Amino acid sequence: MKKKKNSGDSINADHLKRLTQVGAALSTEKDIDRLLEKILTEARIITLADGGTLYLMSYNEKVLRFALVQNASLGLSTGSTGKRVAWQPIKLTGDDDLPNHANVSAHVAITGEAVNIADVYDTHGFNFEGTRSFDQETGYRSQSMLVVPMRNHANEIIGVLQLLNAIDPDTGRVIPFSGEAQELVCSLASQAAVALTNNRLIAELEHLLDAFIQTIAIAIDEKSPYTGGHVRRVADLTMTIAEKINATSDGYYAAICFSDDEMRELRMAAWLHDIGKITTPEHVVDKSTKLEKVYDRIGDIKTRFELLKREYQLAMNEARQNKAGFSPEEVVKDIQSLDEEYQFLVRINNGSEFTADEMIDRIKQIAQRKWSNNTQTLPLLTEDEIYNLSIRRGTLNDEERNIINNHAAVTYRMLNKLPFPRKLRKIAEYAAAHHEKLDGSGYPLGLKGDQLPLQSRVIALADIFEALTATDRPYKKDKTLSEALQILKQMVDDHHIDRDLFELFMREKVYEEYAYRELALHQMDM
């Protein structure tokens, strides 16, 4: 026998089917705003409600916040993605600190019991002043109301669903919410609460992971006073380039579009690219002169020169007194050569010019001078000092260069140990390859050509451009914008960095946005 339609019969097999589908849909929705919208919309559909409000419990569990408000008759839909509801939250306790049972939504949040009211204008026990003034403002007539708690798997109430004015589909009249509708929406509300809790948990964990990664990056940058902000700038630039690739609709990158997960993976790889530097000794990272170890040993050499000069002066004084064989000009010349030799070593120590063979010969020659401390006579320069002063280019010797270069391998070893979720599983690979070059001359693995994923190429370009233009490295002069781009171009011609990427960098003027943000005025020469 076919049942007569009434408010209870408004719920049918379709609704049950829909409820099952909604449950499945809720569990797969990743975006919290879209999830909230889905919950309220579906709750209205299965209860045939004209309007509805979704409240979320605040973090401190003191108030219910309006998350979404929908009303079909009024064409109202606020709080959906991007549009926040500005209404005052509902306090769960009154001014007397007692539970706020006067407000129906607060009451449901406190007790966890659903409330079903046939007509809010004809009921006792709750204060519906807010509803009445809403009606007055809008000309609406609130009547039937169903308020249910959103209780998650941990038995916590994380929100409240309030449904307004059940509509009889045949007559279009407002009817009370049926017991069946109440049951269905309670079931939907708890599924929604579980989905929402899971979603929040994932979002919170992702947020925590991002924050943790950034903290590590800051710690690495802080190790050296000269590289502050390097990782952050590289990560920013990497993402700008990736966004340009996504936005490109023609040419080489037309078919490439990084998904949200891939963008996240790339962002994290960029933030972590130098994590291996955590093991690099500071005196190597910051080695600003050839003789610097924990301190710059040029100071030691200066002391030795001063001692030698004093010896000459003493000899001169003695000779003056004896008058025999005294040649002050010669002594003055000797002292002058000492000064010149010391100045030569100071210059060489800076490592700013290429050290040619004849310079190395001169270092060795100077080294042969003797000086004495109180106990013994020693060569003016130690073997280690000669070795370091003879560095041809820059300030790092081979062993130190290897220690520095090792950071990329350490990056791989560290990141490869971390159990990143599947969608982020390539972070170690992308991050560790940022010093590889297309021609295979990079490190740590000497990868070349197709072995280098696009993501690594992007980080590499960002890393080089940042290093060239950084204004805070004491051991090398910052480059102007045009000089940096010229060097990048040369690196493209030398098959070190990706040509298509460099062309995109130039065509889309990625450098320009970066320069305005990060470079000093004197670097802006184009």
Shortest distance in whole angstroms from residue 407 CB to Fe ion: 6
Shortest distance in whole angstroms from residue 420 CB to Fe ion: 20
Amino acid at 440: G
How many angstroms separate the CA atoms of 287 and 299, rounded?
15
How many angstroms separate the CA atoms of 157 and 364, rounded?
80
DSSP assignment of 223-255, as one string? HSTTSTTHHHHHHHHHHHHHHHHHH--SGGGTT
Shortest distance in whole angstroms from residue 361 CB to Fe ion: 35
Residue (53 or 406) nearer to Fe ion, CB: 406
Shortest distance in whole angstroms from residue 428 CB to Fe ion: 14
Shortest distance in whole angstroms from residue 435 CB to Fe ion: 6
Rounded to 5 degrees, what angle do the CA atoms 207, 209, 213 make? 120
- What crossing angle do the helices spanning 260-272 and 454-469 adopt, rounded to 10°? 40
Residue (37 or 463) nearer to Fe ion, CB: 463
Cis peptide before 169 (omega within 30 of 0): no
How many angstroms separate the CA atoms of 49 and 71, rounded?
9
Shortest distance in whole angstroms from residue 254 CB to Fe ion: 30
Residue (78 or 224) nearer to Fe ion, CB: 224
- In the complex, the residues that contact Fe ion under the rule CB under 5 A are 274, 463
Shortest distance in whole angstroms from residue 427 CB to Fe ion: 15
Pairing of strands 115-117, 157-167: unpaired
Residue (227 or 480) nearer to Fe ion, CB: 227
Rounded to 5 degrees, what angle do the CA atoms 81, 204, 87 make? 40
Residue (274 or 292) nearer to Fe ion, CB: 274
DSSP assignment of 414-481, as one string? HHHHS---GGGTTHHHHHHTTT--TTS--SSS---GGGS-HHHHHHHHHHHHHHHH-S--TTSPPPPH
Phi-psi region of 46 (alpha: psi -120 to 50; beta: other; left: phi over 0): alpha
Residue (74 or 285) nearer to Fe ion, CB: 285
Secondary structure of residue 212 in the 3-state scheme: helix
Task: Measure the N-to-C terminal CA separation of the chain; round to a whole number of Å.
Answer: 84
Secondary structure of residue 66 in the 3-state scheme: strand
384: number of Cβ within 10 Å: 12
Question: Quick one: DSSP state of residue 89?
Answer: P
Residue (366 or 404) nearer to Fe ion, CB: 404
* CA atoms in the 13 A half-sphere facing the CB of 512: 6
Residue (265 or 274) nearer to Fe ion, CB: 274
Residue (286 or 463) nearer to Fe ion, CB: 463
480: number of Cβ within 10 Å: 19
Shortest distance in whole angstroms from residue 434 CB to Fe ion: 6
Question: Quick one: DSSP state of residue 373?
Answer: -
Shortest distance in whole angstroms from residue 456 CB to Fe ion: 12
- Give rounded-to-5 percent helix, strand, coil for the chain: 55, 10, 35
CB contact set of 394 (below 8 Å; sequence gap of 6+): 351, 475
Shortest distance in whole angstroms from residue 463 CB to Fe ion: 4
Radius of gyration (Cα) for the chain, nearest Å? Answer: 37
Residue (42 or 274) nearer to Fe ion, CB: 274
Helix (H) or strand (E) holding 364: helix 357-367
Residue (275 or 504) nearer to Fe ion, CB: 275
Shortest distance in whole angstroms from residue 408 CB to Fe ion: 6
Shortest distance in whole angstroms from residue 72 CB to Fe ion: 55
Residue (15 or 407) nearer to Fe ion, CB: 407
